[in-house]
């Protein structure tokens, strides 16, 4: 085979691969979400058949205010569209709009063991921090497995913190297939490129995260240009004065290089070559982030002005998702011995 044919074969294979990912409507999207995950989601739309889900049912596993959940869900849909998820090129929908997720989750719960769920570190972390530990928090991975398996997913692009959840999804799929015959595609975990690791600006040894409540260390996607510039200007660096990409010994500077690199599609090492002073690096990083966020904020404002249109697009997404999900659910129900209704 010539190189052109190999390229075509690769594209054909890549086109057939289906990508699925989910995101919780927890309010506020930050720069870490954007550069770490969402940029990849947007790119996957070109190369793969992609399905993206706002997991509102997962959000219920911890106590939530009802109105807040509703508005966070709508707002997240608008943010995702503003970032570049295009309802014409991917399937974007809200989990609770596709009832097959809850239905398959029960079959998943009956396929996974108490012991396996007890070993999930995300459960241990969250239950340590919560007064009320719902049964749903414990069975969270079974619902996540249902999300993924419903779409015959090949690839799941999520961060390293989701490794255990993808592993357990694979185990559930294999066990179900073994017990009841070929039913599910066993998915692969794809970890986004490391360059997009975005750390807290004030505590560059930990990831930028909403749950840490580090106001000055986190940049929101909807943050004003002024505030972006202030936060980056105040970002923690070090005292040796050398611009070099080295997360081990120079976390703060490396984080700025990583942010500037991701925002301008350049490697952080290459970015480092262009700067001699921290001040210049900070100015350039702030400019790049403002330039990245401004068009997103403008598109978000347009979408927010017309919520009925967002709902219409989400309905189309849910209809598209259901076509695939209902077939998979039916196959699973039949294979495990439920009598057809």
Binding residues for ligand TRP, rule: CB under 6 A, are 20-22, 24, 55, 58, 144, 147-148, 156, 158, 162, 165
207 is catalytic: yes
Nearer of residues 158 and 221 to ligand TRP, judged by Cβ? 158
Which residue among 15, 64, 124, 207 is the active-site one?
Answer: 207
- Least distance (Å) from ligand TRP to the CB of residue 66? 20
Nearer of residues 148 and 257 to ligand TRP, judged by Cβ? 148
- Least distance (Å) from ligand TRP to the CB of residue 267? 26
126 is catalytic: yes
250 is catalytic: no
- Least distance (Å) from ligand TRP to the CB of residue 114? 20
Nearer of residues 141 and 252 to ligand TRP, judged by Cβ? 141
- Least distance (Å) from ligand TRP to the CB of residue 230? 29
Closest of 19, 69, 75 to residue 187, by C-alpha: 19
Nearer of residues 25 and 252 to ligand TRP, judged by Cβ? 25
Which residue among 15, 64, 124, 210 is the active-site one?
Answer: 210
Phi/psi for 324 (5° steps) reads -80, -45
Which residue among 64, 126, 230, 320 is the active-site one?
Answer: 126
Q: In what order do the strands lie in the sheet with 18-23?
A: 91-94, 49-54, 18-23, 155-157, 188-190
CA distances 283 to 149, 205, 277, 325, Å, are 45, 22, 10, 48
CA angle, 288 then 198 then 300, to 5°: 55
CA distances 139 to 60, 148, 176, Å, are 12, 15, 17
- Least distance (Å) from ligand TRP to the CB of residue 127? 15
Nearer of residues 155 and 262 to ligand TRP, judged by Cβ? 155
Closest of 47, 53, 43 to residue 17, by C-alpha: 47
Strand ranges (DSSP E) for the chain?
A: 18-23, 49-54, 91-94, 155-157, 188-190
117 vs 141: CA distance, rounded Å: 7
DSSP label at 339? Answer: P
Nearer of residues 142 and 290 to ligand TRP, judged by Cβ? 142
- Least distance (Å) from ligand TRP to the CB of residue 147? 4
Nearer of residues 41 and 300 to ligand TRP, judged by Cβ? 41
- Least distance (Å) from ligand TRP to the CB of residue 185? 14
99 vs 142: CA distance, rounded Å: 15
Tell me if 329 sits within 8 A of 183, measured CB to CB: no
Element of type H or E holding 99: none
Tell me if 101 sits within 8 A of 150, measured CB to CB: yes
Phi-psi region of 126 (alpha: psi -120 to 50; beta: other; left: phi over 0): alpha
Alpha helices, H only, 130-187: 135-149, 163-180
Question: What are the catalytic residues?
Answer: 126, 207, 210
């Amino acid at each position: 085979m010539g190189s052109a044919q190999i390229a075509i074969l690769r594209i054909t294979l890549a086109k057939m691969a289906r990508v699925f990912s989910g995101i919780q409507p927890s309010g506020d999207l930050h720069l870490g979400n954007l550069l770490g995950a969402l940029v990849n989601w947007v790119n996957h739309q070109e190369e793969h058949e992609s399905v993206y889900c706002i997991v509102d049912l997962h959000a219920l596993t911890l106590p939530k205010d009802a109105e807040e959940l509703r508005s966070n869900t709508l707002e997240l849909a608008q943010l995702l569209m503003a970032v570049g998820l295009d309802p014409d090129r991917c399937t974007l929908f809200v989990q609770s709009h596709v009832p097959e997720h809850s239905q398959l989750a029960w079959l998943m719960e009956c396929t996974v063991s108490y012991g396996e769920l007890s070993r999930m570190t995300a459960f241990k972390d969250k239950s340590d921090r919560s007064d009320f530990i719902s049964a749903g928090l414990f069975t969270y991975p079974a619902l996540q497995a249902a999300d993924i398996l419903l779409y015959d997913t090949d690839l799941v692009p999520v961060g390293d913190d989701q490794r255990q959840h993808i592993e357990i999804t694979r185990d559930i799929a294999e066990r179900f297939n073994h017990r009841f015959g070929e039913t599910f595609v066993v998915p692969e975990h794809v970890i986004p490129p490391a360059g997009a690791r975005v750390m807290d600006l004030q505590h560059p040894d930990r990831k930028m995260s909403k749950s840490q409540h580090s106001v000055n260390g986190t940049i929101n996607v909807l943050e004003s240009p002024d505030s972006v510039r202030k936060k980056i200007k105040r970002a923690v660096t070090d005292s040796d004065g050398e611009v070099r990409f080295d997360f081990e010994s120079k976390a703060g500077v490396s984080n700025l290089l990583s942010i500037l690199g991701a925002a301008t599609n350049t490697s952080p090492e290459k970015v480092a070559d262009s700067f001699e002073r921290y001040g210049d690096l900070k100015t350039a990083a702030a400019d790049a982030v403002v330039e990245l966020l401004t068009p997103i904020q403008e598109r978000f404002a347009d979408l927010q002005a017309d919520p009925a249109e967002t709902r219409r697009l989400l309905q189309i997404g849910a209809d598209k998702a259901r076509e695939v999900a209902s077939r998979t659910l039916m196959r699973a129900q039949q294979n495990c011995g439920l009598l057809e209704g």
